[in-house]
């Protein structure tokens, strides 16, 4: 049997505590898989006196990163401390010390992923980051290994549990956005400052990582178009139900003719779409490949033990590579030069909600505007507005057939100059056919 493999942790928060638990409680499984044990030798923390979620020998704890990074007995660094610039420096130092790195840091990998992968390859080290996307769901390994022989055409998913919980409460129970957010915070699904989640920034980082891996092209975080859910109105979710649609915050990445688009935005899904059934804090990623067709990965997107499970899957992969002598051989440079789709190359259906004058000819004017841009209607709903000063107005819901994003932008601009249109209340992308 090989000697035990020693690992060092950078960070001992929620995920780090889960890693400690798995190593302690699953040692028999690790020995069975690897032929050797795994032990934690050193842990970087900010405060030596802080109460911990797990029992750790105090002699293992340090506030000096060099104690972990420069220890010759440590083979693998597990980074679960978060942050970007300081963490980047620590990981680069680890590679210089010929140590392999497993990270759960989506922010770091979204911004500096290509640089760190090149550095790992240069020093003959592994860099794995399964836990950076969708918690315990093995989506990155699924793309890199399970679907490696296929040509991935589309990756879309619910990759933020906070927003999915909020939208589930709004859609299923009619709870306001503010009340749903408050409940998510009370349950620990949302941070005190929820901006990164509700404005789509967290999901955007994950989609940049997914797009790079799925399409073998250099997608940057700035290439991801982002909008969040903080301005969603219950009325839109209610109209969506009448149309057979469910609202989700969707990360969307598409690759056709070597051109890529990546976005995160509130999106209506057909209730027949697999992602529409994903509720509460759960995540799911839907992958469409040329050969395999449609697949979906589903599971808990966060949490101590689910995320720690993804971390430990990477640790096992690193150790197996070490035993085989193939560390640092996995990194593959991007195959395709990045070419972003222009708005006239991006297709989709769209939902518009308008407040218009409730008068003869109003709808004819609106339909003529859409027709002049070669946009046809798939569904139309119209209802009077009865609240106070809104008398004399009607609410019109339009669902288009597939059109280009460029034409959608033209419609939005031209609607501002239509006299009978008093206000564009909202518009959203639709994925999947609308029920008739």
Residues serving a catalytic function are 206
Full DSSP string of 258-275: TEEEEEEEEEEEETTSGG
Task: Give the number of other CB atoms < 10 A from CB of residue 42.
Answer: 22
Residue 346: DSSP 8-state: -
Residue 340: DSSP 8-state: B
Cα 300 from Cα 309, distance rounded (Å): 11
Task: Give the number of other CB atoms < 10 A from CB of residue 216.
Answer: 15
Cross-strand partners of 380: 398
Contact 50, 11 (CB under 8 A): no
Full DSSP string of 77-123: EEE-S--SHHHHHHHHHHHHTT-EEEE--HHHHHHHHHHHHHHHHHT
Q: How far is CA 291 from the centre of its chain?
A: 24
Cα 239 from Cα 382, distance rounded (Å): 10
Tokens encoding 224: 């991801």
Tokens encoding 435: 């029920």
Instruction: Tell me how far CA of residue 153 lies from CA of 134, 331, 428, in angstroms.
Output: 20, 21, 22
Residue 120: closest CA among 179, 174, 79: 79
Sequence length of the chain is: 436
Cα 274 from Cα 84, distance rounded (Å): 34
Cα 279 from Cα 138, distance rounded (Å): 19
Cα 406 from Cα 27, distance rounded (Å): 56
Residue 136: closest CA among 104, 98, 167: 104
Cα 209 from Cα 289, distance rounded (Å): 18
Residue 379: DSSP 8-state: E
């Amino acid at each position: 049997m090989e000697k035990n493999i020693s690992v060092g942790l950078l960070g001992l928060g929620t995920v780090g505590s889960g890693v400690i638990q798995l190593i302690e409680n699953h040692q028999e499984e690790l020995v069975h898989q690897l032929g050797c044990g795994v032990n934690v030798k050193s842990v970087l923390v900010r405060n030596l006196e802080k109460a911990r979620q797990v029992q750790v020998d105090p002699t293992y704890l340090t506030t000096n990163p060099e104690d972990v990074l420069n220890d010759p007995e440590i083979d693998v660094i597990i980074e679960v401390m978060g942050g970007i610039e300081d963490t980047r420096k620590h990981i680069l130092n680890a590679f210089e010390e010929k140590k392999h790195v497993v990270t759960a840091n989506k922010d770091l990998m979204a911004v500096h992923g290509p640089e760190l992968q090149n550095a790992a390859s240069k020093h003959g080290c592994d860099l794995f980051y399964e836990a950076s996307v969708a918690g315990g769901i093995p989506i990155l390994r699924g793309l890199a290994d399970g679907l490696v022989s296929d040509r991935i055409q589309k990756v879309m998913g619910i990759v933020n549990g906070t927003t999915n919980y909020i939208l589930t409460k709004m859609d299923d129970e009619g709870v306001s956005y503010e009340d749903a957010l408050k409940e998510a915070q009370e349950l620990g699904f949302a941070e005190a400052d929820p901006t990164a989640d509700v404005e789509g920034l967290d999901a955007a980082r994950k989609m940049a990582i997914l797009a790079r891996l799925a399409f073998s092209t250099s997608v940057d975080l700035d290439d991801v178009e982002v909008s969040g859910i903080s301005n969603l109105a219950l009325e839109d979710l209610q109209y969506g139900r009448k149309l057979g649609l469910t609202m989700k915050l969707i990360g969307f990445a598409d690759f056709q003719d070597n051109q890529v688009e990546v976005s995160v935005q509130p999106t209506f899904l057909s209730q027949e779409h697999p992602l529409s059934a994903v509720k509460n804090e759960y995540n799911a990623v839907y992958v469409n490949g040329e050969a395999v067709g449609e697949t979906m990965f589903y599971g808990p997107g966060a949490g101590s033990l689910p995320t720690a499970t993804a971390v430990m899957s990477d640790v096992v992969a690193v150790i197996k590579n070490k035993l085989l002598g193939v560390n640092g051989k996995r990194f593959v440079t991007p195959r395709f030069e990045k070419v972003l789709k222009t708005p006239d190359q991006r297709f989709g259906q769209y939902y518009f909600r308008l407040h218009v004058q409730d008068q003869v000819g109003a709808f004819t004017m609106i339909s003529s505007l859409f027709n002049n841009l070669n946009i046809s209607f798939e569904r139309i709903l119209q209802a009077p507005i009865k609240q106070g000063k809104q008398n004399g107005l009607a609410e019109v819901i339009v669902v288009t057939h597939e059109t280009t994003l460029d034409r959608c932008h033209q419609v939005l601009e031209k609607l501002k100059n239509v006299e009978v249109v008093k206000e564009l209340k909202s518009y959203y992308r639709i994925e999947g056919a609308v029920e008739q």
